[in-house]
Structure 1
Amino acid sequence: MAGLTAAAVVAVSFLAYQASANAPDSVAAVTPKASSSASLHPSAKPKAPKTDPLAIPADSGTGVRVVYALKDRRVWLVNAGEKAGRTFTVMPSTVSPLPGTYAVTSRSGSIQGSDGVLIEHVVRFANVGDVSVGFSAAQDGSMESPNPTTKTGGVRMKRADGNAMWTFATVSAKVVVVP
């Protein structure tokens, strides 16, 4: 019986390792407890860990900052206590900056975006070639995918999130872009 229990512990540990290797950095690996034989029953399936959207990505720097995760299409507004005061999803532009640390260079209250859409609360932080990249909210509240044949730098968000970004990210504020 002890041999079966040991084999089950090894099998579950291996599956947990495999799951954590493919999971985002913010998800902790599930490690079974050897003392709990009831949870290691052969018919028991390991539960997938839940992702905490407030969990700030690893390697995103320190201090007050905006964190933009390209793959997750998510932004975190990180306060001085290293906590995400707000997080939200965004619609990336067709042009994205490389991962790295940037600073807000300029802001515009209300303008027409490079895609022709009226936008507000524009917070620019990077240039990729001749394209200025920044966060913005469409005044009509839309977050449509940009035309893939047009070079645009507007990372779109909902209007309420745009208001929060506008208040949080003033000129010179740190913006960290992670993969």
Structure 2
Amino acid sequence: MARPRQRDHFQEFPFWLIDVKPSLSYPMFVLGGPTMGFSGMTAPEIVLEFEEIKQLNSMWTRRTYSGGAASPITLQRGVSFGDDSFYTWVRDAQRGFNVPNKNLLAVHNSNIGLVGDTGQIGGVLSPVGEILRVPGRVWMLWNCLPSRYKAGGDFDATSGAVSIMELEFTPDAVEEFSLDLALLGLGAAGAVSL
């Protein structure tokens, strides 16, 4: 029996990062556009903190949650001529210009595409196929502040590798939204055949 396509495992490459809190001054979007393209991004991670309580009448230690924290997220993108969006965000935050904290939306797309299963038209990779991918998981990254910027790869006169710049930011909070049709209340009867 064939399994439904929405149960297939996600691949690592189809993801977007969307700036949902644009600035009022130029540049409007902190990382170069409303949907920014990156070669790499660390996945959102939530670390829970707890306190240990040892009661006098018990020989066992109890734990209770005292809060949580979001781990830093690192973005990677190839260095290109005229692209200074990473540096601009760090510089503006350091100097107190504009509003440095940003709300970002990370979208992990499924491998189900409306044009084709792999975003291909006639066997050729298509940007349209990438745009029409079906989102599978979404994270809202609240009040992100930049914490580290690296302008590119270390200089090496004998290397021909592409220079990769990095930006690390830390969100105050992370919320994950599953776009699973069963979890949204549509179930098997109301699910759209993808």
Under a length normalisation based on structure 1, what TM-score does the superposition of the two structures give? 0.21
Structure holding more strand per residue: 2
Under a length normalisation based on structure 2, what TM-score does the superposition of the two structures give? 0.20
